[in-house]
Amino acid sequence: MLKQKKHKMIQWLFFTCSCLFLFACTGQDSAANNEDETEEEPALHLVNIEPELFQKVAGWFGPETVLLHTGDMDQHELHLYNVVTGEIEELYEEKGYILSIELNPLSSEILFQIVTEEGVFLKIINSSGEISHSIPIDYNGYVSLDWNSVNTDLIFIAHYHYSLEEEGEDILVQIWDIESNTLTERPVSSMYPKWYTSNVYVYIDELEGRNLYIGDIREDSDDLIINRDVVDFFMNQDTFIGVVESDINDTQVYLFHEYPFLVGESVITIPKITMNDVALKPHLTQSNRDGEIYGVIPQQAVALEESLGDFNLEHLDFSEQTTEEIVSLPYDAPIELSPNEEFILFGWRFEYIIDLQTHEMHSLLDSM
């Protein structure tokens, strides 16, 4: 009898120890899983900077790195800032005011316009902050820039200027050939010509008719009209999205997706955005060739001179001709998708960042 009791007691102790062991293992596995989940979702690091020194975030210069522009009345600086690790690296500083900035992540170079006591210059620096090219320009206001992604020696520069012949304001477009360090005028009536190939470009005529034109820098002939319906467009490499007003519904526009350029029939219908009765294209972004496309899409038609409107960040699926809402936005503003397609910069100074994993928007500035 005593032996039986002793045997049962041993069995009970063995069972209890086994349960405790399994419970401990389960707890360790759960903790390990939690650690793995934490590692998979790194927290974003906000920029700790005084608001008066913040000028803007110029864009993505890597999968997790942005180009940060800071400065005051004395000098301006450019920094590389990793939004995941919080690491910051000063690239460039100069006594003067940095205005327009254009990034070329493919060649790890940064183009910017700077106004100094010596004059106005366009400069190019590499990822180490070293100046590789510089040229003076005769304009101290913001210029628009477009860097040829196929032939990186060519850059469009455009700005308004007073024309003596026209006795009024005109648009001056120049091509900076950085290999020869020369500026050549090009008769283009648009502030935003876009390179398509090493020699071919497209633009909307902003002075007459608002038609879509195509030109070739190897030709001296006039540029050709290729579409009278497209009122504006978005281009990223050979992805072309044209905006066409609906001839059926006055509150809608069509987004025609063509990949490669001028080949395709996919269309998405969205509410129309207008300013002074002129249809505007929504802010669109794509970071990789044939990659994901996102847009700032109005919830209903809006005239921006009358109302701020209500907008969403939406994923555009042209293969299914549908959109998916990601997050509501406080207002209409530009966006830029990161190269790894995990984050989106938002705002007129790109002062916000949207995490596409969590669908949450954060201020990039710790002080905001």
**262-291, pLDDT tens digit by residue?**
777 799 999 999 999 999 999 999 999 889
| Mean local confidence (pLDDT), 84-106 | 93
With residues binned 3-state (H G I as helix, E B as strand, rest as coil), the percentages for the chain, rounded to 5, are 10, 50, 40
What confidence tier does 22 reach under pLDDT thresholds 50, 70, 90?
Answer: very low
Cα–Cα distance, 368 to 360 (Å, whole number): 16
| Mean local confidence (pLDDT), 82-88 | 93
For residue 201, the one-letter residue type is: Y
- Do 63 and 105 contact (CB within 8 A), yes or no? no
Residue-level pLDDT at 42:
53
Q: Is pLDDT of 53 > 50?
A: yes
Q: Is pLDDT of 7 > 50?
A: no
| Mean local confidence (pLDDT), 183-193 | 97
Between 153 and 1, the more confident residue is: 153
* Sheet containing strand 273-275, strands side by side: 278-280, 273-275, 302-303
For residue 288, the one-letter residue type is: N
* pTM exceeding 0.95: no
- Do 153 and 178 contact (CB within 8 A), yes or no? yes
What confidence tier does 292 reach under pLDDT thresholds 50, 70, 90?
Answer: very high
Residue-level pLDDT at 112:
98
Q: Is pLDDT of 20 > 90?
A: no
Q: What are the C-alpha distances in Å from 363 to residues 77, 110, 158, 262, 309?
A: 21, 24, 32, 38, 21
Nearest alpha-carbon partner for 298 in 250, 257, 333, 258: 333
- Do 101 and 147 contact (CB within 8 A), yes or no? no
Residue-level pLDDT at 340:
95
Q: Which residues on neighbouring strands pair with residue 328, listed in sequence order?
A: 312
Residue-level pLDDT at 21:
42
* 3-class DSSP state of 56: strand
- Residue corresponding to tokens 């002062």: 351
- Do 224 and 213 contact (CB within 8 A), yes or no? yes
- Do 120 and 114 contact (CB within 8 A), yes or no? yes
Q: Is pLDDT of 18 > 50?
A: no
Cβ atoms < 10 Å from Cβ of 170: 14
C-alpha radius of gyration, the chain, whole number: 27
| Mean local confidence (pLDDT), 353-368 | 89
Between 233 and 12, the more confident residue is: 233
What confidence tier does 31 reach under pLDDT thresholds 50, 70, 90?
Answer: very low
Burial category of 89 from C-beta neighbours within 10 Å (exposed 0-12, middle 13-18, buried 19 and up): middle
What confidence tier does 367 reach under pLDDT thresholds 50, 70, 90?
Answer: low
- Do 144 and 158 contact (CB within 8 A), yes or no? yes
Q: Which of 102-111, 135-144, 176-185, 281-290 has the lowest mean pLDDT?
A: 102-111
Q: Which percentage of the chain shows pLDDT scores above 90?
A: 76
